[in-house]
Structure formats: C-alpha cells, structure tokens
Amino acid sequence: MLSAVGIVSEYNPFHNGHLYQLQRAKQITGADIVVAVMSGNWLQRGEPAIYDKWERTRAAINNGVDIVIELPFFSAVQPSHIFSTGAVRLITAMNCRWLAFGAENPNIDYLKLIKNQPERDASFRQFDRPYASIFQDYLKKKTGIQLNQPNDILAFGYSNANFNLGSPLNLVPIQRIGSDHNQDKLSPSGLIASASAIRNAIHSDLVSEVNKFVPRSTFSMIQGQRPITWNDFWPLLRFELVEAPISQLHQIYQMTEGIEYRLKRCAIKADTFKTFLHLVKTKRYTYTRIQRLCTYVLLHATEAQMLNQPNYLRLLGFSKNGQVYLNQIKNKLKLPLITKVNEEVVKNWLQMDFGAGMLFQMINNKSQDYYRHPLIIGN
C-alpha cells in the first residue's frame, strides 16, 4: 500500500523553493506519493495564473508531484480560512496521511491560536481596516503570537480546518528557506526566490535571470508561453463594470457596503487596470480583496456559488506512480473523480472552474476543460 503526503499549492510558477518543499515533505514523512491540490486558472490573491493550469500541472509532475487535483475556483479564490478549508477537504478526500506546508515560523502553537480565535461574525469588524489585520491583532492580544506572515496565516488555516474535521491529517510544517514571500526582486545570491519575484522578472522581460531559480522544465515553460496578467482581462472587467446595472453588480459575491458604485465610477474613469486599482483603493480594502472582487465580477459569481465546499476531485494529471495510487484508492473515494468534462459535468460540478477556464481560453485560445484529458507524464 502506497502512502501519500498532500501539498497545497499554486505553482505560479513551480520554482526551486517548491522543489525543496516537496523533497522535504517526502523525506520527513517517508510518503511514497505526493498529491498536490493546486489552484486552477485563478489564484488566491485574485489574480490570473501566469500560465494556465495545464502548463502548471505539467511542470509540477515533471518535478516530482505524482497527482495534481484542481482546487475548485470557489475555494481557490477566497480568503485564507476558506481556501485552506477547501484544500484540506480535498487532501483528506484523496486519502493522504499527511499534509505538508511551508511556514515562516513552523513552531507556532497552532492549537493555542485555534482555541483563542474570535467568532467570525458581523459584529467583529471596523470600517477603516481590513478584517485580517483586526483578526491578527486579536490573536496577538490573546496568545502573544504574531500571525502576520502569509505562509504562517495559511498554516494556521490548514491547522484550523484539519482540527474542525476531526484531525484526519498529520500536519507537517516545513521551514521556508531562502526567500521572503513578499520580496519583489530576484536576489543575486541563492537559488531560491519568491514566486512573485520570478513573475515580476518574467513580466519585465528578464526571463534569462529566472533560469537559476527554477527547475529546467519550468524554464522551458516560461520560454514557450506568453505570461498572462490582469491587463489581459482589464477590457472585459471594465466593460462589465461600466455596462452592468448596479443591481446586477450588487448580486456579486462580496459586493458589500455599496462598493459597486465605487467600482463603476472608477471603471468609467480609468483606462488601465493599474489606474483602476489605485482609484478604488481605500484603507478598508486591500489590493487583494479588490482583485478578488474583480475576479468575481468577471465570473458573475454569486454568494450561493462561492460558499460551496469542494464536492468533486478534478484530476489534472498524474505520474506512473500516481496512477498506481489512483488505482489503489479509486474504490474508496467519497467524492467523484472527474477526468472527462462534458456539458453535463460542467452543469453538475465544474460550473465555476469552466467559467474561470473560458476566461483563460478567450485570451490564450487553448481549451481548458472541454476535450481535455488528465496529463499522464513520465514512467
């Protein structure tokens, strides 16, 4: 019987830090198989993936991941507590024994945080600050623990979700090394850089500088693909914000406190996405929150669609070992494993992923769902 460790990722794009994390996860746990639950074409911070989910799946499997499962849009493009809950459910549904994740401070007492967190209700907010920072200050006051690094926040999310599900997974926090997640530029020393520094270099036409920070297969992908950015979707976003009536915009998930009026007014004025973001920004709304909201606008996403728990396993690709593991678990799966996409499957399961994929397809002309089979790589 093969055992599996789960990893939650965006692989945007897959780099040496991801490779290190994956190897450490196998080393620490002794797992035979790595299952990655990966965001599809849109990411947690409300941005399009730099390359589509198929390219990123290929890079992941080429570098040691055995199975890639798509994290559904309604979990992937969400604040960390919803994101991590969806991911933990899928890792669990794939019968993984462990969940490994990077953390800036892997020795944090997650249980202490879990037990001291406030209720997430409407009374817990202030109108001049983002929710997350209020939440973190509350925890700091109660526990003395400062939770403000992006991977630590996700680590807490995974721990909390696992705890709420009755702790089906053994958690394996792995110390992040060699890069600051928020570091914007590639550093001359070392072989590990943040994904955002790598993306910035790619967007600035400095592709050759990326070489030493990514595995070879990622570098070929970068050389062969046009990188996608929000600028590609700006004409569509602007169109929708300008032309849709306020009453329709109001129905979008997270369109609260009348921000639809602000978005519309700024879309009429702005002629680039960057200008638009600057016009919309306030103390209360982080760039991430605004970008997520814009992504929901593109997908016409309603609360009913977005407050779903993952109820399917969309298989994007697997290695030969992954195939053995899939055969081992397939009769025990509690969620349907989706390998072929047709109108019926879209209607019943993949509605949002299909819509998110069509957005990509309208830009890069590559089918994202219809007629696509899971990638089978290696031997």
Is residue 171 within 8 A of residue 183, CB to CB? The reply is no
Dihedral over Cα of 278, 280, 284, 288: its sign: negative
HSE-CB of 239 using CA atoms within 13 angstroms = 7
Is residue 338 within 8 A of residue 349, CB to CB? The reply is yes
Dihedral over Cα of 69, 74, 78, 80: its sign: negative
Binding residue (CB under 8 A) for a copy of itself from 30, 118, 144, 235: 235
In the complex, least distance from residue 314 CB atom to a copy of itself, rounded to whole angstroms: 19
CB under 8 A: which stretch of 12-20, 107-115, 139-147, 356-364 binds a copy of itself? 356-364
Binding residue (CB under 8 A) for a copy of itself from 177, 268, 307, 376: 268
Euclidean distance between CA atoms 151 and 128, whole angstroms: 25
Binding residue (CB under 8 A) for a copy of itself from 250, 281, 300, 372: 300
Binding residue (CB under 8 A) for a copy of itself from 342, 362, 366, 378: 362
Of 171 and 363, the one with the shorter C-beta distance to a copy of itself is: 363
Does the footprint of a copy of itself cover residue 358 (CB under 8 A)?
Answer: yes
Is 177 flagged in the annotation as binding? yes
Dihedral over Cα of 215, 221, 226, 232: its sign: negative
Please state whether the peptide bond connecting residue 13 to the residue before it is cis, i.e. omega within 30 degrees of 0.
yes
The DSSP code sequence of 106-124 is TT--HHHHHHHPPP-STTS
Is residue 223 within 8 A of residue 207, CB to CB? The reply is yes
Does the footprint of a copy of itself cover residue 303 (CB under 8 A)?
Answer: no
In the complex, least distance from residue 227 CB atom to a copy of itself, rounded to whole angstroms: 19
Does the footprint of a copy of itself cover residue 240 (CB under 8 A)?
Answer: yes
- Number of neighbouring beta carbons within 10 Å of residue 71: 29
Q: CB neighbours of 365 closer than 8 A, spacing ≥ 6?
A: none
Binding residue (CB under 8 A) for a copy of itself from 355, 374, 375, 377: 355
Does the footprint of a copy of itself cover residue 243 (CB under 8 A)?
Answer: yes
Euclidean distance between CA atoms 186 and 152, whole angstroms: 22
Is 86 flagged in the annotation as binding? no
Is 79 flagged in the annotation as binding? no
Does the footprint of a copy of itself cover residue 335 (CB under 8 A)?
Answer: no
The dihedral region occupied by 378, where left means phi > 0, alpha psi between -120 and 50, and beta the remainder, is: left
Beta-ladder partners of 71: 39
In the complex, least distance from residue 93 CB atom to a copy of itself, rounded to whole angstroms: 28
In the complex, least distance from residue 50 CB atom to a copy of itself, rounded to whole angstroms: 21
Binding map of a copy of itself across residues 14-43, x = CB under 8 A, - = no contact = ------------------------------
Does the footprint of a copy of itself cover residue 239 (CB under 8 A)?
Answer: yes
Binding residue (CB under 8 A) for a copy of itself from 177, 242, 307, 376: 242
Dihedral over Cα of 154, 158, 163, 169: its sign: negative
**Hey, what amino acid is at 332?**
K
Binding residue (CB under 8 A) for a copy of itself from 167, 271, 303, 333: 271
Question: Which residues does the annotation place in the binding site for ATP?
Answer: 8-21, 102, 151, 176-177
- Residues within the interface to a copy of itself (CB under 8 A): 235-236, 238-240, 242-245, 248, 268, 271, 298-300, 355, 358-359, 362, 365, 370
